[in-house]
Amino acid sequence: MKDIALRAAVRTQTYVNHWAHTTVDRMTRRKDRGQGAIEYVGITILVVAIVIALIRTKMGATIANKFTAKINSVLNK
């Protein structure tokens, strides 16, 4: 029984090590290193546009009032 458990442990460790090394190799070969900053700028612009649209409509005030009411109900309990 010890041999079976030892073999299983060795096979598992070999599999995990191989997976880790191939994953690291794939990650280091990626060519989109500068892409992150552009994505953050795009997301920020999108969020700002949504906030501006909500501020200019009555829906923004309605949402703000609902949030304020819920926060007050939680804080008062």
Digit-coded pLDDT (tens) for 16-73: 888 888 877 777 776 666 667 778 888 899 999 888 887 788 787 788 888 889 989 9
Q: Give the pLDDT confidence score for residue 2 in this predicted structure.
A: 66
**How far from 22 is each of 17, 30, 35, 48, 74, CA to CA, in Å?**
9, 13, 23, 40, 49
C-alpha 39/C-alpha 70 separation (Å) is 33
**Eight-state DSSP code of residue 57:** S
Exposed/middle/buried for 60, CB within 10 Å: 0-12, 13-18, 19+?
A: middle
